[in-house]
Homo-oligomer: A and B are copies of this chain.
Amino acid sequence: MVVKVYGPQCACPKRVIVCLIEKGVDFEVVPIDIFKGENKTPHYLQLQPFGHVPVTQDGDYTLFESRAIMRYYAEKYRSQGTELLGKTLEERGQVEQWLEVEAHEFSPPVYNLVIHIMLSSKLGITADQKLIQESEEKLHKVLDIYEERLSKSKYFAGDFFSLADLSHLPFVQYLMDPLGKEHVIRDRKHLSAWWDDISNRPSWKKVLQHYPPPNLS
């Protein structure tokens, strides 16, 4: 069964796609143009009641929320492709811990920067300068903690690549390129080496090549 992934242009579905590539799972994408409101149609809201991307469909099994989808496929195809959950219960605990940190500490300030720097004109909103400043300050504190963590182990959960690293790919990519904040990564030695390592994985290069972000002009 080929897994359908809705919304490949956006950041969160890219987490799912890179995970499926790492696991060697066949998939096809279903474009959803959020700027045309395709995520708010009655049909789409039947799949994802909040109107967010991604959704996956696998036969008659539907899932949403990118990190839930990643966990499901990383577990379902445990015996093939890259092991993304750690080998032991304790390693899995560390993977889950840093996956939660990505979701609750790292991604919210980057999301604010994406909305208020990258997308404000496309969305027709006034960029909130105070929120931009607060988000940048918050991001620096998080990245200082990341630098400390990555000085002790090669990847977030230990000396193995996992969902905790993979889940950072789309939003660190936004920082590097369209947001022009490469220095926040490059100024931190261990974080910079980690980024070079994970962003050079063939899976992520394939995602960038085949699923570019939407045209914002």
Interface residues of A (CB under 8 A from B): 49-50, 61, 63-65, 67-69, 71-72, 75-76, 89-90, 92-94, 96-97, 99-101, 103-105, 142, 145, 148-149
25 A-B residue pairs with Cβ-Cβ distance under 8 Å, sorted by A, are: A49-B145, A49-B149, A50-B101, A50-B105, A50-B142, A50-B145, A61-B90, A61-B93, A63-B97, A64-B97, A65-B100, A65-B101, A68-B93, A68-B96, A68-B99, A69-B97, A71-B92, A71-B93, A71-B96, A72-B89, A72-B92, A72-B93, A75-B89, A75-B92, A103-B103
Closest Cβ of chain B to A167, distance in Å, is 12
Q: Which chain B positions have C-beta within 8 A of A104? A: 65, 103
Question: In the complex, what distance in Å separates the CA atom of A105 from the CA atom of B48?
Answer: 13
